[in-house]
């Protein structure tokens, strides 16, 4: 099966459509979303509509949980809290009910998807380094390859026996296309579809479960149009977005 793993759409349906079109051209047979459908962006209604109409399996992200009242927004930065509250008002009861049905973990075909981590998926803690990644490998030992989002930054970790046959290594590497190696498991952060934090493009990952090939993908979207859409709804544009 050829999978496209996406994450952190953040109410940016234009970027989502670009990624879905790119993944289809690349031969993806199934798309799975690692959460944060809403929050930050300008159009949560259309974003959810696209996912629901296409039947895309989706896990619960922290912003999704905040919108339905399962996470306290008090500790969030201002524009994150404000857009979550805005999206709660915009979404109908049917879409809110859909968000409430989302699981914390999706498993299929020897892969697993969570929004933040596998050590405590509902806790939404970040994976920033190989030490964080190790906990997820240990707690989710059934799947060969794990996918997350949450940081909006692409990342790659491997877990296997390299130097000590009795104690597995956990290693980090720069994200790059590769083929799964015998005896190793992998954890991949797929980046963000709709709210980039480094360069103005969407990122996601293609994974072929038959060949074991993983490919990191970058897709341009109308970034200026995105910023204009934020301003049109009086959503503050973060400084790092203004600088792009």
Whichever domain contains 82, its CATH number is 3.60.21.10
For 128-140, what is the mean pLDDT? Answer: 95
pLDDT score of 165 more than 70: no
pLDDT in tens, 205-235: 999 999 999 999 999 999 999 999 999 999 9
pLDDT score of 237 more than 90: no
For 137-153, what is the mean pLDDT? Answer: 96
Measured from the Cβ of residue 212, the count of other Cβ atoms closer than 10 Å reads: 15
Q: Token digits for 186?
A: 């992998």
Range of the domain at 146: 2-242
Sheet holding 30-33, edge to edge: 30-33, 2-6, 201-208, 213-220, 178-179
For 4-19, what is the mean pLDDT? Answer: 98
Please, which pLDDT band fits residue 157 given cuts at 50, 70 and 90?
very high
- Range scoring the smallest mean pLDDT among 85-89, 138-142, 167-171, 229-233: 167-171
Identify any residues that bridge with 169 across adjacent strands, giving them in sequence order: 160
Q: What share of the chain is helix, strand, coil (3-state, %, to 5)?
A: 35, 25, 40
CA distance 183 to 97: 41
With pLDDT > 70 as the criterion, what percentage of the chain qualifies? 96
- List the alpha helices (DSSP H) in 91-194: 93-101, 130-139
Mean pLDDT score across all residues of the chain: 94
Q: Residue 158 in contact with residue 170, Cβ under 8 Å?
A: yes
CA distance 207 to 178: 10
With pLDDT > 90 as the criterion, what percentage of the chain qualifies? 85
Extended beta strands in the chain, E state: 2-6, 30-33, 105-108, 111-114, 145-148, 155-164, 167-173, 178-179, 184-189, 201-208, 213-220
Q: Token digits for 87?
A: 């999206």
The pLDDT of residue 131: 93
Please, which pLDDT band fits residue 63 given cuts at 50, 70 and 90?
very high
pLDDT in tens, 29-46: 999 999 999 999 999 999
pLDDT in tens, 92-131: 999 999 999 999 999 999 999 999 999 999 999 999 999 9
Sign of CA dihedral 223, 224, 225, 226: positive
The pLDDT of residue 52: 98
The pLDDT of residue 125: 96
- List the alpha helices (DSSP H) in 140-220: none
pLDDT score of 244 more than 70: no
- Residue whose structure tokens are 């390299």: 162
Q: Residue 38 in contact with residue 62, Cβ under 8 Å?
A: no
The pLDDT of residue 238: 76
Q: Residue 134 in contact with residue 95, Cβ under 8 Å?
A: no
Q: In total, how many domains does the chain have?
A: 1
């Amino acid at each position: 099966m050829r999978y496209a793993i996406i994450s952190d759409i953040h109410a940016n349906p234009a970027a989502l459509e670009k990624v879905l079109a790119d993944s289809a051209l690349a031969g993806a047979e199934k798309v799975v979303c690692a959460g944060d459908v809403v929050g930050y962006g300008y159009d949560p209604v259309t974003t959810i509509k696209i996912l629901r109409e296409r039947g895309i399996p989706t896990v619960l992200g922290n912003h999704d949980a905040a919108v339905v009242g399962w996470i306290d927004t008090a500790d969030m930065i201002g524009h994150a809290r404000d857009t979550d509250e805005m999206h709660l008002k915009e979404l109908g009861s049917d879409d809110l009910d859909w968000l409430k049905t989302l699981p914390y973990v999706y498993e299929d075909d020897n892969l697993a998807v969570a929004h933040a981590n596998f050590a405590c998926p509902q806790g939404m803690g970040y994976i920033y380094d190989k030490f964080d990644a190790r906990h997820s490998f240990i707690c989710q030992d059934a799947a060969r390859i794990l996918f997350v989002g949450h940081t909006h930054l692409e990342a790659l970790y491997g877990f296997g026996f390299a130097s000590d046959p009795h104690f597995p290594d956990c290693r980090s590497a720069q994200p790059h296309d590769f083929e799964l190696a015998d005896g190793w498991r992998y954890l991949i952060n797929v980046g963000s579809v709709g709210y980039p934090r480094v360069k103005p493009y969407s990122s996601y990952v293609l994974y072929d479960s038959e060949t074991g090939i993983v490919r990191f993908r970058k897709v341009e979207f109308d970034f200026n149009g995105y910023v204009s859409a934020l301003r049109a709804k009086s959503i503050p544009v973060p400084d790092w977005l203004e600088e792009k």
